[in-house]
Amino acid sequence: MPEQPTQQPPGPVHRTVPVQGGRIHCVEQGSGPLVLLVHGFPESWYSWRHQLPVIAAAGYRAVAVDVRGYGRSSKPADVDAYRMLALVGDAVGVVSALGERTAAVIGHDWGSGIAAHAALLRPDVFTAVGMLSVPYTPPGGPRPSEVFAAMGGEEEFYVRYFQQPGRAEAEIEADVRGWLAGCYAGMSGPAVDPALYFVPAGARMADRFPSDGPPAWLTEADLDVYAGEFERTGFAGALNRYRTMDRDWEDLAPWNGAPLTQPSLFICGAADGSADWLSAAIDAFPTTLPGLVSSHLLPDTGHWVQQERPEEVGALLVDWLRTAYPAQP
């Protein structure tokens, strides 16, 4: 494991930059080649709080964004505005608005998909790609709605549960802080109950969440940050990403089966459900990620890998960046 730099850069700076059709809130630290950090659901730029200073100290300009629909970024009302092509456009727009021409892009959860597709569609801009928790799966295959409808038998897979506008919002927004605490705790390591991802008929997703507060890696103050953002914005924008998957399937058809050829990285918790139901995608990396530099499955770790194991993930990211996207010529 490489040693972490000891000299810390100045603290993070918040800014909002214009992109086509809206704005993206960014939190920036350090100087050097640009590294774009993209969060997943249900999070925000804050999920990268541990890695921002580490990447900056290694000689990079680390920028964590609020994805469209989250935090201080634009939240269009139209569900169609959240399709993958629009989110890739936001990522390209951020790079341009920051005065850069290229970047390494690293994503977690849905952010992993955004990072992967940004690298796939715009390899001229995104010259290295890191994916956390969700492995790269090339476009194509069966229609997503058909796949999720077939999962769980009489119970609903959570992605299907999220499809109807207003349904999941009504559950979550009735107790934002409690729902987030249960979601973060339930999907944390060292073990995750697979039943958490399925909703029985007439039940709520939260019915299977643990009820003893946030996990050990998340302080009450951290939970206040997440809850405060979602209390202000609501969940419709965040959930709308799940509601465009069939549209993405159509939009991305020209890239069906395409590999990612840039230098890449994958990090996942061994207890994460993605490591199980997407195991075939991980096994396919020699074909789908021919530029893969390293892949890591962290034991006793759940879905929130960069928050559950912040020091280890920070070190892995810096080690990979030094090979895939050097700060110095």
**Residues noted as catalytic:** 109, 303
Provide, for the chain, the percentages of residues in helix, strand and coil under a 3-state DSSP scheme, each rounded to the nearest 5. 45, 15, 40
DSSP string, 232-268: HH-SHHHHHGGGGHHHHHHHTGGGTTPPP-S-EEEEE
Read off the tokens for 195: 């039943």
* Pick from 186, 185, 213: nearest CA to 197: 186
Residue in this structure with the two tokens 């003893």, named with its chain if needed? 212
Strand order in the sheet with 22-29: 13-19, 22-29, 61-65, 34-38, 103-108, 126-132, 264-269, 292-298
Note whether 41 and 110 are within 8 A (CB): yes
CA distances from 221 to 23, 49, 231, 301 (A): 27, 13, 15, 22
Read off the tokens for 258: 């395409």
Region class of 133: left (phi > 0), else alpha (psi between -120 and 50), else beta: left
CA–CA dist 176, 231 (Å, integer):
7
* Pick from 84, 90, 95, 136: nearest CA to 112: 136
